[in-house]
Structures are given as C-alpha cells and as structure tokens.
C-alpha cells in the first residue's frame, strides 16, 4: 500500500508521520510545492514545533516516510491520495471574507486527474465546505480517463500543541464515503489504515456530506463554548463574579463538561474563525439567514473580546498608552506551538500600536521574523517610509519587561507561570500594571508584590 499526501503543513506533516510510524507496511510520501518546507521536514529542524513530533518523524523518515517536492511522482505511485492543503478564507471576489478559498484544492484535484494512471482513492483531509467532494469527483472524472476515483472525506481533529497525542489516541476518526459498493470498499481501505492503531469502535463511518459538515460543526461548537464563556467574563467583570469559578461550577455538570471553558483574550488559530465563517457563508448560500447569524455571533463575540481587552489596558493606564512601553508575553495563538495564525496577540499588538504604544514582545517559540510579518500584514508599518512602528522583539522575558509600564500575558506558556515576578516588578515603571489575558497568574500574589493586576472576568 502506498499513500501520498499533498500538503506538508501542520496537518499533512504530523498526520502522515503518525500513519508511517504506526504502519510499517505502508509507504507514506508527503509532497509539497514549498521547497523550503520540504527541506525542513528532511532536516533536524522541522518546520513546525509540536511536542513529541521529532521522535515520530525520526522513527519513520527514510524508512517508510518521505518528504519530497516531486508531486506528480507521489500522485502516480499512490493508492490513496490525501489532500491536506490550506483552505483559507477567501480575500477577493464572491464570498470574500467568509467563503473558503478552494483554489488549492481544485489545483490538487486537477493535478491528480492529469497524472493518475490507475484507480485512486482521494481523501479530503483539509477542512472543506460540505459538498466539496462532489466538485472534486467531477474534476477527477472530467479528465475522461478510464480509471476510477473514489472521493472520501476524512477530516482531521488534531489540535496544535497536542497534535502527537491527538493523533496517537484520537477521540474518533471520521470517514465519509459514497453510499455504493465501490464507496464502501474505499472506506474500508482507509478504515484498515487507521485500524493499525485506533480501536475499531473509534473509527466512525458516515456518508460524505455528514463527514464534511461534522468537521465545520465540531469547530463551530468548540469556538462557541469559548465565546460563550468569554461573554460571561464581561458580565463577571461588571458584577464581581469570577469567571473561572463560574466555569468550574457549570463544567462539573456532566452534561456541560469541563473542557473548553477557559476564558481568554479570545480564541485564535488558523481554523476556528475561518471554519465558522465558512459555515456562515454556506448557510447564507442555502438561504438560512437566521442560522448564519447565530453562528456569526461567535466570531463577533471573539472580536469584541480582543477589542475590549485593549480598551481596558488603555483605560487603566490613565487613558493613554502613547509612548509607553508595553511588554507583551506570548505571541503564539496558544502554548506549545510556534503557530501565530490569527493569534489574538496580533490584534492586541495592532491596537496598542494604533494607540502609539511601544510594544516589546517575547515568545519562547515565535521568532522575530514571524512577529514582524504578522504585524506588517495587519497594517502596522509606517505608510510613508515603510519603517516599522515601535515594535521590538526580545529573546529574554526580563529584557522585554524592563522599564515597561505594563505587562500583558497573551499566550498561556507554562514558563510565564514560573517567572520571577518580584524581579519583574522591580525593573518596571510604577505603578506597575499586569494584564493577564489567559488567567494563568495568581492575581492575589501579584498584588502582594505591588502590581496593579487584572485578569479576564476577574473581580
């Protein structure tokens, strides 16, 4: 059995590494057009940081796991082809700002149609609008070859930062296939791959549309929980309730459950917002405006959460941060990843820069190049001379906080819990403010040191 995966990103890389690691009898080739990324996958410095990933890759690479830019060869030799390319929100034309941009998916389908010489199972691993499998099938069959294609949906549910554990012991694997004999056979072939290590009862099979829609729905539900608790956090601040206590109290109800109730400065990451907007667009497309509005509110609440966090900083710092050094600890969208896509930190820093703050950033895994690129993309460079505004990126948290008016925690990195806050206090300007956008610090202890400390949804 040979598998090819198109797209060596945050999903394609780890997912295929796990398949290769667990299935000695399967040869897995991950192909990508990005030469730099492929070179990194073949080096000691993998292109993405994920706890435990190095070991999984090293175990299989060169044996039954290969990374290459030879896309056509990969496609031609494979029995099963995963499509794991990016599906960002469209930025142009019809559906701009909401619909998923499917151009990379279509390019893959056309490439497969052109170079395939024998029957293939094509698997949607990327997150896609419901009914994309139909378009892929039509493109594949449009080539008019006498070979047969089966299109399956197999969405990925891993979360960044825990990708390896999620892949090793998934809550479930979802496979959607066509309701026909050939469809069942293709589904079974993919079930057999996962059954190498995933208990059979955790491998769910459905029709294609249910599988495609379940992925968007899963992300919408998860993000909705965060927006719900974040909405309550604002009410907590107005009333003296503590959002962590409220979350604990409701989460102990087994019908609600404790997970995904951590109030924060807002959710980030490449997918939640994109996938909800995609769902909203689909609902609008199918003439369901009330359903669309319901889900869109999850994104509005998230934007509101980020905005009100910055407003609070400005208000607390005597209504101006102009010229003030604000130390930002954490730039990744969550801990244990170097991914900054849609990180709330980008928008918080942007808004602070608009208020003419001097932003000093430290993140243990995000490099200066990424920080500056992200901030440039949201328009924080001086338009007249292209020079960047007052942003500096530090390698050491203690340097970042020195002479700062305020410290702002934007990622819940474990190391931020362990910092010497007395030392930080001593080097800051007074009054020394601290805003914990992740509720990871003990505000009472900080206040004992002398900080003016606040969290999200905290009295």
Ligand X SMILES: NC(=O)C1=CN([C@@H]2O[C@H](COP(=O)(O)OP(=O)(O)OC[C@H]3O[C@@H](n4cnc5c(N)ncnc54)[C@H](O)[C@@H]3O)[C@@H](O)[C@H]2O)C=CC1
Ligand Y SMILES: O=C(O)[C@H]1O[C@H](OP(=O)(O)OP(=O)(O)OC[C@H]2O[C@@H](n3ccc(=O)[nH]c3=O)[C@H](O)[C@@H]2O)[C@H](O)[C@@H](O)[C@@H]1O
Residue ranges for the binding site for NAD(+)? 7-12, 32, 37, 85-89, 126-127, 160, 271-274, 341
Q: Which of 27, 29, 64, 86 binds ligand X (CB under 6 A)?
A: 86
Distance CA 15, CA 11 (A): 6
CB of 102 or CB of 329, closer to ligand X: 102
Q: What's the burial of 45, exposed, middle or buried (CB within 10 Å: 0-12/13-18/19+)? A: exposed
Q: Does 276 bind ligand Y (CB under 6 A)?
A: no
Q: Which of 71, 232, 332, 440 binds ligand X (CB under 6 A)?
A: 71
The question of whether 108 is a catalytic residue gets the answer no
Q: Which of 3, 4, 8, 453 binds ligand X (CB under 6 A)?
A: 8
Binding flags for ligand Y, 131-160, as an x/- string (CB under 6 A): -------------------------xxxxx
Distance CA 425, CA 434 (A): 10
Q: Which of 10, 59, 17 is nearest to 336 (CA)?
A: 10
Instruction: Decide: 43 and 56 in contact? Cβ < 8 Å.
Output: no
Binding residues for ligand X restricted to 122-161, rule: CB under 6 A: 126-127, 156, 158, 160
Binding flags for ligand X, 246-275, as an x/- string (CB under 6 A): ------------------------xx----
Binding residues for ligand Y restricted to 328-357, rule: CB under 6 A: 333-334
Q: Which of 102, 113, 222, 276 binds ligand Y (CB under 6 A)?
A: 222
268's contact among ligand Y, ligand X, none, with CB below 5 to 8 A by partner kind, is: ligand Y
Stretch that binds ligand X, among 10-18, 142-150, 204-212, 245-253 (CB under 6 A): 10-18
Binding-site residues from annotation: 7-12, 32, 37, 85-89, 126-127, 156-160, 215-219, 255, 262-268, 271-274, 333-334, 341, 438
Furthest C-alpha separation in the chain:
76
Neighbours of 382 (CB within 10 A): 9
CB of 156 or CB of 363, closer to ligand X: 156
CB of 255 to ligand X, least distance (A): 27
Q: Does 87 bind ligand X (CB under 6 A)?
A: yes
CB of 12 or CB of 437, closer to ligand X: 12
Q: Does 11 bind ligand X (CB under 6 A)?
A: yes
Give the strand pairing for 80-83 and 65-68: unpaired
CB of 74 to ligand X, least distance (A): 9
CB of 412 to ligand Y, least distance (A): 7
Q: Which of 3, 4, 5, 10 binds ligand X (CB under 6 A)?
A: 10
Q: Does 370 bind ligand X (CB under 6 A)?
A: no
Q: Which of 370, 373, 415 is nearest to 397 (CA)?
A: 415
Q: Does 38 bind ligand Y (CB under 6 A)?
A: no
Binding-site residues from annotation for substrate: 156-160, 215-219, 255, 262-268, 333-334, 438
State the catalytic residue, choosing from 4, 5, 236, 271.
271
101's contact among ligand X, ligand Y, none, with CB below 5 to 8 A by partner kind, is: none
- Integer-rounded Cα radius of gyration of the chain: 24
Stretch that binds ligand X, among 9-17, 112-120, 342-350, 430-438 (CB under 6 A): 9-17
Q: Does 292 bind ligand Y (CB under 6 A)?
A: no
Binding residues for ligand X restricted to 28-57, rule: CB under 6 A: 32-34, 37
Binding residues for ligand X (CB under 6 A): 6-12, 32-34, 37, 71, 84-87, 104, 107-108, 126-127, 156, 158, 160, 270-271
User: Which residues are catalytically annotated?
Assistant: 271
């Amino acid at each position: 059995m040979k598998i090819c995966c198109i797209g060596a990103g945050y999903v394609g890389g780890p997912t295929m590494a796990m398949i290769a690691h667990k299935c000695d009898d399967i040869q897995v080739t991950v192909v990508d057009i990005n030469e730099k990324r492929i070179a990194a996958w073949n080096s000691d410095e993998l292109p993405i940081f994920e706890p435990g990933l190095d070991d999984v890759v090293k175990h299989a690479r060169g044996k039954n796991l290969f990374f290459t830019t030879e896309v056509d060869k990969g496609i031609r030799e494979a029995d099963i082809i995963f499509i794991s390319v990016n599906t960002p929100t469209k930025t142009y034309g019809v559906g701009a700002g909401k619909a998923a941009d499917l151009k990379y998916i279509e390019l893959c389908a056309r490439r497969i149609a052109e170079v395939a010489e024998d029957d293939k199972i094509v698997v949607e691993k990327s997150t896609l609008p419901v009914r994309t499998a139909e378009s892929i099938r039509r493109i594949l069959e449009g080539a008019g070859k006498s070979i047969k294609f089966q299109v399956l949906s197999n969405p990925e549910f891993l979360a960044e930062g825990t990708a390896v554990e999620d892949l090793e012991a998934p809550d479930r694997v979802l496979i959607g296939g066509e309701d026909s004999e050939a469809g069942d056979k293709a589904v079974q072939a993919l079930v057999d791959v996962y059954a190498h290590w995933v208990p059979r009862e955790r491998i769910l099979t459905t029709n294609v549309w249910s599988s495609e829609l379940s992925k968007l729905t899963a992300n919408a539900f998860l993000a909705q929980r965060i927006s719900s608790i974040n909405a309550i956090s604002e009410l907590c601040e107005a009333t003296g309730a503590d959002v962590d206590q409220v979350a604990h109290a409701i989460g102990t109800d087994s019908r609600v459950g404790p997970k995904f109730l951590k109030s924060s400065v807002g959710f980030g990451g490449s997918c939640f917002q994109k996938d909800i907007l995609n769902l909203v667009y689909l609902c609008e497309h199918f003439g369901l405006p009330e359903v669309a509005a319901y889900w869109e509110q999850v994104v509005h609440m998230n934007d509101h959460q980020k905005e009100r966090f910055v407003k609070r900083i400005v208000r607390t710092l005597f209504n101006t941060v102009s010229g003030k050094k604000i130390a930002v600890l954490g730039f990744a969208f969550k801990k244990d990843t170097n991914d900054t896509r849609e990180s709330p930190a980008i928008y918080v820093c942007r808004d602070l820069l608009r208020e003419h703050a001097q932003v000093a950033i430290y993140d243990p895994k995000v490099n200066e190049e990424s920080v500056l690129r992200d901030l440039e993309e949201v328009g924080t460079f001086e338009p007249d001379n292209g020079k960047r505004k007052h942003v500096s990126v530090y390698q050491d948290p203690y340097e970042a906080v020195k002479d700062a008016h305020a410290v702002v925690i934007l990622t819940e990195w474990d190391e931020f819990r362990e910092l010497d806050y007395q030392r930080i206090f001593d080097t800051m300007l007074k009054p020394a403010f601290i805003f914990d956008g992740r509720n990871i610090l003990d505000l009472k202890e900080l206040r004992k040191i002398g900080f003016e400390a606040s969290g999200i949804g905290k009295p």
